[in-house]
């Protein structure tokens, strides 16, 4: 017996002698219906027919499913706060930027976003030409710096005033529990001191140390603080770049300079800070803030200075290790390695010298640096700093350095 085709929704009595009738789709009127709408009980054959049979049914059905799914989600305070920040940012951007449907607002492509979400590493070469342009514009405008949490220098923290080293300058042995706490909770706090005792200067040189070592120390501290603030305290991310930045700022470490006064040392460092290579970082105002960092470190005494110099030594040694694995020209690589090796030796010698200096001498040096900052601020509007022989001869730091 042939089966009947029905177009009505009225139920039919089916049995073994009376086979069930098949209903035509109420939407397209071409195919047999296989499904029933859960809201209006209308029969349809496919998903396109379901979407087009009634907008009221489809929208309400999807809305109910979404609401039901959201009810099962339990958001914590952190999720609510992040979502609120996203909504506020979106609202502010919506008010400030004009609406243009033809412009693609996405900075990264879908492939790049998927790579980031999957945990892959993305570098500048992975970006398209348009993405590189947008990245450079955001970098020049300072938008990327807003995404980085500001770094608090370790020498400005209260713990820096309680640094203790042994009599021979080595780091004190701490219990295993405290050491684990420091490594886990405060990995980037106070840098560790030397692991081995510092030798006496008499074992390193046969003559008396130069009285200009105090000036050289000012030069080195400035370059260290400059680099750590630029790298946001994380020099380990680029040891070679950090070490080369120290050498480019420091006259003593990078140019084998011999500044004779504190003013001369500061003027050279400030000129490098205001040079075209680094003026975008902050210029003279940034340099004067680094002078305050010098004063703070000198005021902390020899233990903090030894930890600072030890951290600088580790930076240079890490750069030497990275250079061994990098592929560079042999001539350029050997020149860079020789500069780093010489700088590492100078830092170690200054470290041994600082260990034998009384805190009164370091405090006096801090007072000189503070006084020189006041005089340098008078030249804030000039492009060049005073470096005449008259100023060098009349500098008060020379007599105090001889006293030290």
DSSP 149-177: PPPPPGGGSGGGGG--B-TTSPBPP--HH
**What gap in Å lies between CA 380 and CA 278, rounded to an integer?**
17
Closest C-alpha to 401, from 376, 350, 367, 378: 367
Per-residue pLDDT tens over the stretch 234-267: 899 899 999 999 999 999 999 888 999 999 999 9
Closest C-alpha to 382, from 263, 226, 270: 270
Per-residue pLDDT tens over the stretch 293-323: 999 999 999 999 999 999 999 999 999 998 8
**What gap in Å lies between CA 314 and CA 336, rounded to an integer?**
16
Closest C-alpha to 365, from 240, 256, 219, 239: 219
Q: What is the DSSP pairing of strand 35-36 with strand 43-44?
A: antiparallel
- What SS3 state is found at 382? coil
- In order along its 404 residues, the chain shows pLDDT tens digits of 455 555 545 444 444 444 445 788 888 888 888 888 877 888 888 888 877 777 667 666 666 665 666 565 555 666 666 666 666 665 565 555 444 444 444 556 677 776 766 666 777 777 778 777 777 777 666 666 666 677 889 999 999 998 888 888 888 765 444 444 444 333 447 899 998 999 988 888 888 888 899 999 999 999 999 999 999 888 998 999 999 999 999 999 998 889 999 999 999 999 999 999 888 888 888 999 999 999 999 999 999 999 999 999 999 999 999 888 776 556 567 788 889 999 999 999 999 999 999 989 999 999 999 999 988 777 654 445 554 333 333 343 333 333 33
334-361 in b/e burial notation, b at 16+ Cβ within 10 A?
eebeebbeebbebbbbbbbbbbebeeeb
Which residues are registered as beta bridge partners of 381? none
Task: Tell how many helices (H) and how many strands (E) occur in the chain.
Answer: 17, 4
pLDDT score for 235: 92
Residue 220: in which H helix or E strand, if any? helix 213-230
pLDDT score for 328: 58
**What gap in Å lies between CA 39 and CA 64, rounded to an integer?**
12
**What gap in Å lies between CA 404 and CA 362, rounded to an integer?**
9
How far lies 250's CA from each of 220, 223, 260, 300, 335, in Å? 6, 5, 14, 22, 17
pLDDT score for 32: 85
pLDDT score for 336: 85
**Widest Cα–Cα separation across the chain:** 122
pLDDT score for 132: 77
- Give the torsion sign (CA, 111, 114, 119, 124): positive
- What SS3 state is found at 23? strand
Query: Which phi and psi (to 5°) does residue 24 adopt?
Result: -75, 145
Which residues are registered as beta bridge partners of 32? 24
pLDDT score for 57: 74
Q: How many CA atoms lie within 13 A of 19 on its CB side?
A: 7
**What gap in Å lies between CA 117 and CA 126, rounded to an integer?**
15
pLDDT score for 399: 38
- What SS3 state is found at 34? coil
Q: What is the DSSP pairing of strand 22-23 with strand 5-6?
A: parallel
| DSSP type of residue 356 | T
């Amino acid at each position: 017996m042939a089966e009947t085709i029905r177009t009505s929704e009225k139920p039919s009595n089916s049995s073994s002698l009376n086979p069930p009738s098949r209903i035509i789709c109420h939407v397209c009127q071409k195919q047999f219906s296989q499904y029933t709408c859960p809201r209006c009980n209308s029969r349809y054959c496919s998903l396109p027919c379901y979407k087009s049979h009634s907008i009221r049914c489809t929208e309400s059905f999807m809305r109910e499913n979404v609401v039901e799914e959201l009810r099962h989600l339990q958001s914590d305070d952190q999720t609510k706060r992040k979502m609120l920040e996203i909504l506020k940012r979106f609202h502010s951007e919506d008010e400030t930027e004009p609406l243009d449907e033809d412009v693609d607002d996405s900075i990264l492509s879908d492939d790049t976003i998927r790579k980031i979400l999957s945990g892959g590493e993305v570098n500048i070469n992975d970006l398209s030409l348009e993405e590189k342009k947008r990245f450079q514009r955001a970098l020049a405008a300072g938008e990327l710096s807003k995404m980085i949490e500001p770094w608090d220098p370790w020498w400005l923290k209260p713990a820096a005033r309680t640094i203790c080293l042994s009599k021979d300058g080595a780091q004190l042995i701490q219990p295993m529990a405290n050491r684990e706490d420091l490594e886990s909770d405060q990995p980037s706090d106070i840098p560790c001191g030397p692991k081995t005792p510092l030798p006496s200067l008499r074992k390193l040189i046969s003559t008396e140390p130069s009285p200009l070592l105090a000036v050289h120390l000012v030069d080195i501290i400035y370059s260290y603080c400059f680099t750590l603030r630029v790298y946001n305290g994380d020099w380990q991310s680029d040891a070679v770049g950090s070490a080369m930045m120290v050498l480019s700022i420091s006259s003593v470490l990078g140019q084998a300079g011999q500044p004779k006064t504190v003013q001369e040392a500061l003027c050279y460092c400030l000129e490098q800070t205001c040079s075209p290579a680094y003026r975008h970082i902050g210029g003279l105002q940034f340099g004067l803030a680094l002078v305050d960092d010098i004063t703070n470190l000198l005021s902390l005494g020899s233990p903090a200075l030894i930890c600072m110099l030890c951290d600088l030594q580790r930076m240079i040694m890490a750069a030497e290790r990275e250079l061994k694995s990098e592929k560079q020209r042999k001539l350029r690589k050997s020149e860079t390695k020789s500069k780093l090796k010489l700088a590492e030796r100078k830092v170690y010698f200054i470290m041994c010298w600082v260990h034998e200096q009384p805190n009164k001498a370091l405090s006096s040096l801090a007072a000189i640096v503070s006084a020189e900052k006041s005089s340098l601020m008078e030249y804030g509007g000039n492009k060049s700093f005073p470096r005449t022989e008259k100023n060098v001869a009349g500098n008060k730091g020379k007599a105090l350095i001889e006293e030290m």
